[in-house]
């Protein structure tokens, strides 16, 4: 009988993992370990990123375990080297940055992920952030709660724009970007996309695929970032790119903090080149005391909540459990990161 470690946390809980595994591998023996996230922030540990949990506690829990079913625990090289029975790590995230893929591959451990698990949640949050920036929802809420009634904001020179009729530029057209595009089209926006990995036939009817980021920036009254962060696109939206955006435009980032130069963003908001911005991902999480982002005008922020929903946690567990069943049944998994070790 195979033994599976259910290494959950406060979001993708061990109970959610257990229920999903029971549907796909009902006869599995299980052990459980609960990590401290999200009450404790994720950190970079040894050779992995965005991880939580105690290393030695994880190593102890992995003894005799064939499959680790986890979300945020850190599977560093040290952990993998000290888990001799481990053959598979399933991470309930779109990108398993908390796993040392080189170490796993060297030790014949298959790593799988759960792409698309939070696409709907992130899409909904992105639309909410676009509208919050356009309509200045958080600013008006704060004023009312401070006893300030801004009736003057109905003056023509102070009211904001509508999404309808505007060109919205999307940087990236994956699981989230394509969903955002469909909603924006339904709202009457013109949607243009920059995604160097796509050809024109791969976007929906009515969505324009542009050939360069500069072209997109020059036309976007609203710009929303949906790219996956890589070493090559750090600060892909910086001062020069923001300067190309039309005067009075809006910038939204619900993707990754490293994609945007936040000092350049603050400069553009302070100078009123940008009308507003909204960000769910930030350069440091949590923000340090005294961060300029806390006092910059017309900036709405949320603490990296875009992918958070009950359905996202449940879907992640379901996708992961289905791949565990495939692995144990010697059927190729659907979401392997290092498929070269599958079947070893």
If you ran DSSP here, which 8-state letter would residue 227 be given?
Answer: P
Q: Which among 198, 252, 267 has a CA at the least distance from the CA of 221?
A: 252
Q: Which residues contact 228 (CB under 8 A, 6 or more apart)?
A: 95, 172, 174, 255, 256
Structure tokens belonging to residue 12: 């993708």
Helix, strand and coil in the chain, % to nearest 5: 35, 20, 45
| Active site residue ranges | 256, 285, 304
CA distances to 46, 80, 141, 161 from 136, in Å: 41, 48, 9, 11
Kind and range of the H or E run holding 279: strand 274-279
If you ran DSSP here, which 8-state letter would residue 262 be given?
Answer: H
């Amino acid at each position: 009988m195979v033994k599976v470690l259910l290494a959950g946390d406060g979001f993708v809980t061990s109970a959610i993992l257990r229920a999903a595994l029971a549907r796909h591998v009902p006869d599995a023996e299980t052990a459980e370990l609960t990590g401290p996230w999200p009450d404790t922030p994720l950190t970079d540990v040894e050779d992995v990123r965005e991880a939580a949990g105690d290393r030695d506690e994880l190593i102890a829990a992995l003894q005799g375990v064939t499959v680790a079913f986890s979300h945020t625990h850190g599977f560093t090289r040290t952990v993998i080297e000290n888990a001799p029975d481990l053959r598979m790590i399933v991470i309930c995230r779109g990108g398993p940055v908390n796993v040392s893929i080189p170490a796993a591959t060297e030790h014949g451990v298959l790593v799988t992920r759960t792409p698309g698990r939070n696409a709907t949640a992130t899409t909904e949050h992105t639309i909410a952030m676009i509208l919050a920036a356009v309509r200045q929802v958080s600013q008006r809420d704060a004023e009312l709660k401070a006893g300030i009634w801004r009736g003057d904001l109905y003056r023509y020179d102070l009211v904001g724009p509508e999404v309808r009729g505007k060109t919205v530029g999307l940087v990236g057209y994956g699981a989230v970007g394509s969903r955002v595009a469909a909603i924006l089209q339904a709202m009457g926006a013109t949607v243009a996309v920059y995604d160097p990995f796509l050809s024109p036939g791969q976007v929906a009817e009515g969505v324009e695929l542009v050939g360069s980021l500069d072209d997109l920036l020059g036309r976007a009254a609203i710009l929303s970032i949906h790219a996956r962060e890589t070493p090559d696109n750090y600060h892909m939206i910086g001062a020069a790119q923001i300067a190309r955006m039309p005067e009075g435009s809006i910038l939204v980032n619900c993707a990754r903090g490293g994609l945007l130069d936040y000092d350049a963003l603050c400069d553009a908001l302070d100078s009123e080149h940008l009308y507003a911005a909204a960000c769910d991902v930030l350069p440091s999480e949590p923000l340090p005391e005294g961060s300029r982002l806390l006092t910059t005008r017309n900036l709405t922020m949320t603490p990296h909540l875009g992918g958070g929903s009950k359905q996202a946690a449940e879907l992640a567990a379901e996708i992961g459990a289905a791949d565990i069943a495939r692995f144990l049944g010697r059927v190729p998994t659907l979401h392997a990161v290092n498929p070269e070790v599958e079947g070893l």
